[in-house]
């Protein structure tokens, strides 16, 4: 046990016999860190009947995979999964351990981190490796720099200088999966783990249909914010009109340009629970820190001021259009195409231009 | 049933989150109750109506700020919060989720002990003194302090069958009374902790599961947890809680033995199931609300100082980062862009181009700009150009 902790571990989630998109992204996140550390990416797979799933992990960049395969682990159960992970961490001592910042990743990572014990930096949108110098604690070489949104004002670097593994959850949508290479091979290691007896039991599991709208995989996201409740003169507007425009745009992108388009919303609009938008805008539309992180080809922010919590969820979009009456709105800092003006005037112009014959 | 609800005071406005060395200074800002906690209070309220018992609010931070913040929960008729405990100590300042969860777990343990010990005291009094005024006085004292439920002792006219009353009336023997108290203690040890899914300041969602892990460590037994709970029912008789939650693409039903911890989703709506057995609810309820909040320090908790505050926090918040650089912007109706393809050309002995439609004429000499404008190579960026760029 005298060796230094090593390895960048990634906890791989799977459903219906395949790794989830979040897991493929997580391998890419792990790879970016492992290359800088000159360490290996180790996938951690838990479940039952996992034959050949490790091959997917290798194709997508994992150097090796640790598998706990037991019929008793067929359905996801936090206590047993956390136990399995904890026992591997204690035995093999990774340097870094990443989880997807989704409900399952957070469910296990939090318990494991407490038990180890080590720090847990959640919801990271970027990762880096840097030396860290702290006058009180000393110098640390090659630390994982965990970069996450911080109290609404900025991104913060989080360090876990003294504890190993450095544990972090990574926001889905923050890293793109690597190009799969079917020829890539890796090392498979089966780990013996027998789940214990727990004061809890999963009695029913249902796979839900993917959330609608599926913002994460859209090519175009048209997001609505509080700005749609008023026109450029500050007079109240029926937000269904703006929703109608957004829907028109979505239909044009899909029918005419074969781009998958979805309608998003700012947190403020979702939480305002505007009566007129009932059934149109809900929590599954939310883009931002507490909603979906998106990276579409085109992001159109309609009447969204662009608080940091929103920006971290869409700032990596390839082309950002922002329409807002306030020229000082923070969204304009990151928009490629700022349109200062009344949503109810600018949006129809955009629809006419994209849908009109000239742009075909 | 002992229902512990975890609450947090969060900055009222994010712009106020002034940081000193990366640590939130909660004493210097306006705090509000974490909005996600409202669902935890709602769930606790529902539990109390169904199963009886007591709702104890547990929070951590500067007591001067937090006590007024919690006050509406006691004053409001709709809220069944009965008691409030604030973990407050400078030693806890700067805690990350690990150190926070450790302190909160100690708080939970102390709360549980606070409610179990009186049952032992009473059993001890019965064993020692037998039938006597001493037993009645002890029961009266504990009851007034809100420490024993009606089923153990009560002055409510509607409760005539408390353990102590039946003992004092000679209906049960001392041995039976002691055995019943032991059973009551067993029931009380099946407590439940409810919390919001996360807070609006840290947004980690880690503290719920970590408190479950912390209490597990302190009590030496596994305390299960369920996050994002959308529906649940607790059965104090079997000591179980059945929760339904949505985690990613899974909807999961998790049956947990108490004690257990739940974090309550925004989607949670209390079920409209009829109230529980009223006699049972009354028996497991307590005398009333304690108007005074109780403050516990690190010492009161018997905390290991190395596990509290900055010392007990493995993570360090470092310097901030500005997100992204301002992109190259094209403003509709303002920016000049190339309106057509322009091949490479020479102007005053320097080579320029080639340029494609939509390119910005960056760092071109003014005379050249004038020439390009004049010959129609440059034009104002318009919405049609924007449309073209978006779909290309």
DSSP one-letter string for A267-305: HHHHHHT-GGGTTTS-GGGBBSTTSB----SEEEEES--
Report the residue from A103, A110, A337 with minimal CB separation from B210.
A110
Lowest pLDDT segment from A129-133, B2-6, B371-375: B371-375
With a CB-CB cutoff of 8 Å, which residues 279-318 of chain B face chain A? 313-318
Q: Which CATH superfamily is domain A215-359 in?
A: TPP-binding domain (3.40.50.1220)
Burial class (CB in 10 A: 0-12, 13-18, 19+), A80: buried
Are B203 and A354 inside 8 Å of each other by CB? no
According to CATH, the topology of domain A8-190 is Rossmann fold (3.40.50)
Look up the ipTM and state it: 0.84
Average pLDDT value for residue range A80-100: 98
Phi-psi region of A292 (alpha: psi -120 to 50; beta: other; left: phi over 0): beta
State residue B16's pLDDT score: 42
* Cβ B270 vs Cβ B42: under 8 Å: yes
Quote the minimal CA–CA distance from B287 to chain A in Å: 32
The reply to whether B257 touches chain A by the CB within 8 Å rule is yes
The reply to whether B215 touches chain A by the CB within 8 Å rule is no
Quote the minimal CA–CA distance from B257 to chain A in Å: 5
The reply to whether A52 touches chain B by the CB within 8 Å rule is no
- Domain definitions of chain B by residue range: 2-307, 336-391
Quote the minimal CA–CA distance from B89 to chain A in Å: 22
Per residue in A5-54, pLDDT (tens digit) is 999 999 999 988 899 999 999 999 999 999 999 999 999 999 999 988 99
With a CB-CB cutoff of 8 Å, which residues 32-71 of chain B face chain A? none
Q: Where do the DSSP E strands lie in A210-288? A: 220-224, 261-265
State residue B25's pLDDT score: 61
Going by C-alpha positions, the residue among B322, B331, B368, B320 that lies closest to residue B347 is B368
3-state SS assignment for residue B343: coil
Q: In whole angstroms, what is the distance from residue A36 CA to residue B49 CA?
A: 56
Q: What is the gyration radius of the CA atoms in chain A, in angstroms?
A: 23
Whether a cis peptide bond, with omega within 30° of 0, leads into B195 is: no
Per residue in A190-233, pLDDT (tens digit) is 999 999 999 999 999 988 776 667 888 899 999 999 999 999 88
According to CATH, the topology of domain B2-307 is Rossmann fold (3.40.50)
CB atoms closer than 10 angstroms to residue B18:
12
The reply to whether B114 touches chain A by the CB within 8 Å rule is no
Are A359 and B225 inside 8 Å of each other by CB? no
Angle subtended at Cα A314 by Cα B9 and Cα A325, rounded to the nearest 5 degrees:
85
The reply to whether A133 touches chain B by the CB within 8 Å rule is no
**What is the pLDDT of chain A when averaged over all its residues?**
92
CA A306 to mean position of chain CA atoms: 18
Lowest pLDDT segment from A125-139, A246-260, B47-61, B346-360: B346-360
Per residue in B70-124, pLDDT (tens digit) is 888 877 665 689 999 999 999 999 999 999 999 999 999 999 999 999 999 999 9
Quote the minimal CA–CA distance from A86 to chain B in Å: 12
- What DSSP designation does B355 have? B
State residue B105's pLDDT score: 98
Q: In whole angstroms, what is the distance from residue A216 CA to residue A293 CA?
A: 7
For residue B318, is pLDDT > 80? yes
* Cβ B108 vs Cβ B195: under 8 Å: no
Q: Where do the DSSP E strands lie in A61-211? A: 64-69, 96-100, 120-124, 126-134, 138-150, 154-159, 166-170, 187-190, 200-207
With a CB-CB cutoff of 8 Å, which residues 8-47 of chain A face chain B? 13, 15, 20
Q: In whole angstroms, what is the distance from residue B237 CA to residue A85 CA?
A: 34
Report the residue from A155, A311, A352 with minimal CB separation from B321.
A155
State residue A271's pLDDT score: 87
* Confidence label for B132 from pLDDT (cuts 50, 70 and 90): confident
State residue A159's pLDDT score: 95
Quote the minimal CA–CA distance from B186 to chain A in Å: 16
Whether a cis peptide bond, with omega within 30° of 0, leads into A260 is: no
- Domain definitions of chain A by residue range: 8-190, 215-359
User: Dihedrals φ, ψ of B203, to 5°?
Assistant: 55, 25
Per residue in A264-288, pLDDT (tens digit) is 999 999 988 889 998 899 888 999 8
B chain contacts of residue A115, beta-carbon cutoff 8 Å: 213, 217
B chain contacts of residue A333, beta-carbon cutoff 8 Å: 326
A215-359 and A8-190 share a CATH fold: yes
Burial class (CB in 10 A: 0-12, 13-18, 19+), A185: exposed
State residue A358's pLDDT score: 45
| Residue whose entry in the numeric block shows the structure tokens 């847990």 | A120
Angle subtended at Cα A106 by Cα A132 and Cα A163, rounded to the nearest 5 degrees:
30
The reply to whether B78 touches chain A by the CB within 8 Å rule is no
State residue B17's pLDDT score: 46
């Amino acid at each position: 046990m005298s060796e230094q902790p090593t390895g960048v571990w990634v906890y791989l989630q799977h459903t219906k016999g395949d790794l989830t998109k979040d897991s493929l992204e997580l391998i890419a996140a792990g790879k970016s860190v492992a290359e800088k550390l000159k360490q290996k990416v180790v996938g951690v797979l838990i479940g039952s009947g996992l034959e050949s799933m490790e091959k997917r992990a290798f194709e997508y960049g994992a150097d090796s995979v640790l598998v706990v395969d037991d019929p008793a682990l067929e359905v996801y159960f936090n206590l047993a999964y956390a136990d399995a992970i904890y026992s591997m961490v204690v035995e093999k001592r990774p340097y870094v351990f990443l989880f997807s910042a989704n409900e399952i990743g957070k469910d296990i990572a939090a318990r494991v981190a407490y038990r180890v014990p080590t720090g847990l930096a959640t919801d990271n949108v970027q990762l880096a490796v840097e030396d860290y110098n702290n006058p009180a604690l000393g110098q640390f070489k090659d630390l994982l720099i965990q970069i996450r949104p911080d109290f609404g004002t900025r991104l913060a670097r989080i360090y876990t200088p003294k504890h190993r593994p450095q544990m972090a959850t990574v926001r889905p949508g923050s890293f793109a999966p690597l190009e799969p290479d079917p020829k890539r091979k890796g090392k498979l290691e089966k780990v013996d783990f027998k789940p214990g007896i727990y004061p809890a039991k999963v009695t029913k599991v249902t796979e839900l249909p993917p959330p609608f709208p599926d913002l994460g995989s859209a090519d175009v996201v048209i997001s609505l914010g509080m700005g749609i409740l008023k026109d450029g003169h500050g007079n109240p507007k029926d937000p269904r009109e703006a929703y109608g425009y957004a829907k028109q745009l979505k239909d044009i992108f899909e029918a005419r340009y074969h781009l998958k388009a979805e309608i998003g919303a700012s947190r403020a609009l979702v939480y305002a629970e505007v009566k007129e938008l009932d059934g149109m805008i809900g929590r599954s539309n939310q883009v931002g820190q507490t909603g979906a992180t998106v990276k579409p080809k085109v992001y159109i922010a309609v009447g969204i001021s662009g608080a940091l919590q929103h920006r971290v969820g869409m700032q990596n979009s390839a082309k950002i259009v922002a329409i807002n009456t306030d020229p000082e709105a923070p969204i304009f800092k990151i928009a490629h195409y700022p349109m200062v003006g009344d949503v109810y005037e600018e949006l129809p112009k955009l629809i006419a231009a994209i849908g009109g014959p000239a742009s075909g | 049933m002992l229902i512990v609800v975890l609450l947090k005071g969060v900055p009222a406005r994010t712009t106020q989150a002034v940081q000193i060395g990366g640590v939130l200074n909660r004493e210097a800002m306006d705090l509000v109750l974490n909005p996600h906690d409202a669902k935890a209070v709602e769930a606790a309220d529902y539990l109390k109506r169904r199963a009886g018992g007591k709702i104890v609010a547990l929070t951590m931070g500067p007591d001067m700020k937090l006590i007024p913040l919690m006050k509406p929960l006691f004053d409001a008729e709709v809220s069944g919060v009965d008691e409030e405990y604030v973990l407050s100590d400078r030693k806890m300042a700067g805690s990350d989720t690990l150190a926070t969860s450790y302190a909160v777990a100690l708080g939970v343990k102390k709360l549980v002990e606070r409610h179990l010990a009186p049952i032992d005291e009473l059993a001890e009094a019965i064993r020692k003194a037998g039938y006597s005024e001493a037993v009645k006085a002890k029961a009266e004292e504990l009851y007034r302090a809100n420490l024993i439920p009606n089923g153990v002792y009560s002055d409510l006219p509607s409760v005539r069958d408390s353990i102590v009353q039946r003992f004092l009336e000679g209906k049960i023997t001392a041995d039976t009374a002691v055995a019943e108290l032991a059973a009551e203690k067993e029931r009380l040890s099946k407590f439940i902790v409810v919390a919001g899914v996360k807070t609006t300041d840290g947004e980690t969602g880690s503290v719920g599961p970590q408190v479950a892990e912390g209490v597990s460590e302190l009590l030496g037994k596994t305390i299960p947890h369920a996050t994002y709970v959308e529906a649940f029912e607790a059965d104090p008789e079997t000591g179980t809680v059945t929760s339904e939650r949505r985690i990613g693409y899974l909807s999961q039903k998790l049956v947990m033995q108490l004690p257990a911890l739940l974090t309550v989703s925004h989607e949670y709506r209390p079920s409209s199931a009829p109230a529980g057995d009223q006699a049972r609810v009354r028996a497991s309820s307590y005398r009333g609300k304690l108007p005074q909040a109780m403050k516990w320090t690190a010492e009161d908790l018997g905390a290991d100082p190395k596990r509290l505050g900055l010392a007990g926090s493995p993570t360090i918040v470092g310097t901030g980062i500005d997100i992204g650089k301002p992109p190259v912007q094209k403003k509709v109706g303002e920016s000049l862009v190339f309106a057509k393809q322009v091949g490479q050309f020479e102007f005053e002995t320097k080579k320029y181009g080639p340029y494609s439609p939509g390119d910005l004429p960056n760092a071109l000499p003014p005379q050249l700009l004038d020439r390009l404008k004049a010959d129609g190579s440059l034009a104002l960026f318009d919405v049609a150009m924007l449309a073209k760029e978006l779909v290309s």
